Chains A and B, each alone.
Chain A
Amino acid sequence: MSRSSTPKGMSRRHFMSHMTGASAMTMPALAMGNTLLNNAEDLKRRRKSAILLWMGGGPSTMDIWDLKPGAPTGGPFRPIATSGDQQISEHMPLMAKQMHNMSIIRSMSTREADHGRGRYYMHTGYVPNPNIEHPSYGAVLSHQLSHQRPELEIPPFVTVGGGSVGPGFLGMAWAPFSVNSNGQVRNLQMGLEDQRLYQRMYALDLIESGFINQRRGSAASDHQKILKKTLNLMTSSQMDAFKVAGEPEDVKERYGNTNFGRGCLMARRLVEQGVPFIEVGLGGWDNHQNIHATLRDTKLPELDQAMSALVEDLEQRELLQDTAIIWMGEFSRTPRINGNAGRDHWARSWSVVVGGGGLNGGLAIGETNSDGTRVETEPYTSQDVMASVCKGLGISLQTTFTSQNGRPMKIANSGKIIKELFS
């Protein structure tokens, strides 16, 4: 976004301070606290981020990361060597060159094999509970990492091209900001002179506050917080980070001319801008039918191109050591092949891939048995992956949230560190 949509003749800061003086529309509390942190450059160097590559539908990890060529139901794909200490599917040749940066956790063992429940569990570290909504990865990590970027004016949790899981009891202020992979954010322009917008906002704030003061609960006050964030975003030049179209042609080509490719490229741009958490969605993994042709011809080429570009690009820009990448879906698929040449839902033994952000790359951690139906080594869970990512990003595992009903909740649901990722 160009400066032109910032109220004319006023800088954004100036504009916001007007708002502050005139009404209860205050600056985000974060920005206040962080005036204490005076060395912005130093801060920028140390700031951590995470990118979640979310594979909606549940990808078959034994066809991608943990092949069983000897097993009767291992499928037709062959393993190939990588730059790391693991083998992966022959249909992931570009990732094979990046695997020194990434580790495969092959002994994931979870219990949720329904899409909704699995999505919730893998995003939060908690099984669904009708009485409480837990915050998702993006909400937790952006909540923990936001203090490192006092200058951030755009939402700290962005999801590209797919649905994520919400902020739960952390509140709507930590909800994902959802955009399409083309990076066009709708309805950004108001086309009103600054003075008049400010006067409208003043009237709006008065009405809002009147309603909030009638003890209407959090739904009323959350709305006011969202208004502030919206105003922030409308007047920020940082919105340029969403504009992937402006990248050089060769870079766009490297990521692939796909929605997922553009999403990954946007993720890198957002990390550079200081956004602490980006989720990029790639759906279409619910392959109950005809799985191997689908993987070979469409899903894996798209994934391979974009994911390898992202890892490579972050490494070349020296961002990888501070940016964790997590690749996972809600579960995986049955080691057996069904009557429709597909695989069904399976959570008992599968793989998640992580790297960057202080996590060791190049490893295969844990093992499954010869036909992939069981984990042979210590089983790992959603909580363990989340705890390890937190540790890699320097977030204390002693961090405790308090849910709205006063229940203490430890970050990552007290997951244990996966030791091999650190040394």
Chain B
Amino acid sequence: MKRQLWAFALLGLLAQMVCLPGSANAQTEASDYGIQEVAEINRLIRQGWLDYEIRPSVAASDGEWVRRVYLDILGRIPSVEELREFTKERSPEKRKALVTKLLYDEEYTEQYANNWTTIWTNVLIGRSGGTERNSLTSRPGMQKYLRDSLARNKYYNEMVYELVTATGSNTPGTDQFNGAVNFMTMKLEEKAAQATAKTSRIFLGLQVQCTQCHNHPFNEWKQQKFWEMNAFFRQTRALRRYEPGTRNVSHVELVNESFQGEGLTKDPDKADIYYELRNGITKVAYPVFVDGQSIDPSGYVEDVIRRDELGKLMMESRYLDKMLANRIWAHFMGYGFTKPIDDMGPHNPPTHPELLDYLGQQIRKKNFDLKQIISWVALSEPYALSSRTNSSNESLDDPLLGETPKFSRFYMRQMRAEELYESLLTATRAHEGRGDYEAQEELKSRWLGQFVVAFGNDEGEETTNFNGTIPQALMMFNGDLVKKATDSNKGSFLSELAESNLNNTQKINHLFEAAFARKPSTNEVKVANQLLIARKGDLTAALQDIWWAVLNSNEFILNH
């Protein structure tokens, strides 16, 4: 057995040396897998290291890399089988092959769509969207739209256009169902202030909410711009539909209706809106896009549907592609080119302007194909660096110390709550027989609910308790989810492992590979043996103790 292990480790080492010539000396070129965009990312990021005289961290091991790729693309860690399949592969192109597989293989389509549905749902309607009392949002409706779109890799710009212009019913199973409407159904109160702010922020990276009431001192946006943008949303209505004969809302319909304007004259040919300056003077506004392009001011839907015009204008805006590039980059790298990622106005310059601009342009050229930009970033050199620091980048490239990110190492972060949940299921093979998507989502959202903390204002702002503090540690120590994951009853993951025909070392290895994508160290094996003695030879109980410790560790909970 021992010899086999050695051989295995040696093979792994060799494999790394073969496919990553740059790992020993990071100054040599990393592979770009023949992809022009990857080469350009590598070149521009390296330029930054040169400018700051930083030596990047060594390359991540295969295990570390594959763990992050699964987490970032599918929202869960790899299973032991998936890990071993990858690490035993010798081809220098194996990383490209894996990314391609996770993105395009039918086997993974559903998981890919589910993961990005979770991500986009949280962006579009928040973690609690749809759970409010008398909510106008159907969370299942939002999710259905996103899953369908992502599963067939709908181009991002088409999705944005649909979300911004959608009409129809919000609830699956009703007439004229169009789940896309859920982005906006609950953002139309108070003259659609939220629709204005969130549309600008999420898709264009422009934070206009401050300018609703006044010209912002640090933001070049003026109050006028907010209301001109707002004017695009003023034909939009969310109508409650009731169950026949009752006062129970069955669903909500988003419609465009002619808007006669707010002026005293009520002239729909020139449907105007008004807003108040701080000094009390009232000013008029018509729909004008951020770049100054205006549209027909008519409020009649027969003349012009304002949201459709907004959608078209957004499609042409460079902010659209740059915002997407920034969001995807931040998802994989832990930090975006701006902080926060959705504040990209002229007052907040990006760290790598040339790269951001390039990525935006390229993704526009590729029709906003999400899977393409994901592969560029996932195959880039900075994404493949270790999260271990070296003396040259330890403090110079630590955004936690207030440094701008230089991407000379992988920035560790907490798994998102959803990622942790899915990873625990993967690690304990609990995916099997879990019921359909809706049933699974219901279970998951109940579990997630414990971590949401609302701020209590009209913008529905919320934060999460799932941030590495005590409530999360308590959940991992004692919560039902981990109790279930460490269950030792007949038929459980641990009892099956204990009863398998693997030898003890292999069983311990299995646990470490399942959680960390690596084998245990000598000390870890030693402590596992001590536990076996302490449990008086009860192997299942010892595995339970090890598994509990593994799942509660920093190395498990962090995407490293």
Contact = CB atoms under 8 A, between A and B. Distances in A.
**Chains A and B are bound partners:** yes
Contacts of A200: 545, 548-549
Contact of A163 (B214, B463, B523): B463
A114 to B, nearest CB: 5
Contact of A206 (B210, B398, B527, B552): B527
Interface stretch (B40-48, B66-74, B249-257, B386-394): B386-394
Interface in A398-416: 403-405, 407
A351 B151 CA distance: 53
A189 B477 CA distance: 9
B11 interface: no
Nearest to A205: B549
Interface in A188-221: 188-191, 195-196, 199-204, 206-208, 210-212, 214-220
Contacts of B455: 56-57, 115, 119, 162-163, 283
Interface stretch (A94-102, A223-231, A240-248): A223-231
Nearest to B556: A207
Interface string A254-294: 00000000000000000000000000011111101100000
Contacts of B510: none
A230 B553 contact: no
Nearest to A155: B470
Given A226-B468, A229-B470, A283-B455, A207 B549 contact: yes
B293 interface: no
Interface string A151-177: 000010000001100100000100111
A113 B400 contact: no
B495 to A, nearest CB: 18
Interface in B444-467: 450, 453-459, 461-463, 465, 467
B105 interface: no
Contact of A286 (B212, B403, B458): B458
A78 interface: no
A114 B457 CA distance: 11
B179 to A, nearest CB: 28
Contact of A196 (B213, B348, B456, B545): B545
Interface string B322-350: 00000000000000001110000000100
Interface string B518-560: 0001011001101100100000000001101110111101101
A40 interface: no
Interface residues of B, number: 71
Contacts of A196: 534, 545
A167 B149 CA distance: 40
B553 A217 contact: no
A188 B478 contact: yes
B13 interface: no
B214 to A, nearest CB: 7
B549 A338 contact: no
A187 interface: yes
Contacts of B558: 216, 219-220, 223
A292 to B, nearest CB: 17
B457 A405 contact: no
A187 B338 CA distance: 37
B217 A111 contact: yes
Nearest to A132: B402
B413 interface: yes
Interface in A277-328: 281-286, 288-289
A386 interface: no
A178 B471 contact: yes
B478 A189 contact: yes
Interface in B352-395: 387-390, 394-395
A113 B473 contact: no
B202 to A, nearest CB: 15
B470 A230 contact: yes
A217 B453 contact: no
Contact of B389 (A186, A217, A285): A217
Given A187-B475, A288-B190, A215 B394 contact: yes
Contacts of B245: none
A223 B454 contact: no
A195 B214 CA distance: 63
Interface of A: 56-58, 111, 113-117, 119, 130-132, 155, 162-163, 166, 172, 175-178, 185-191, 195-196, 199-204, 206-208, 210-212, 214-220, 222-224, 226-227, 229-230, 233-234, 281-286, 288-289, 334, 336, 338, 340, 344-345, 403-405, 407
- In the complex, the 4 A-B pairs of residues with the closest C-beta atoms, listed nearest first: A283-B456, A56-B456, A223-B554, A203-B549
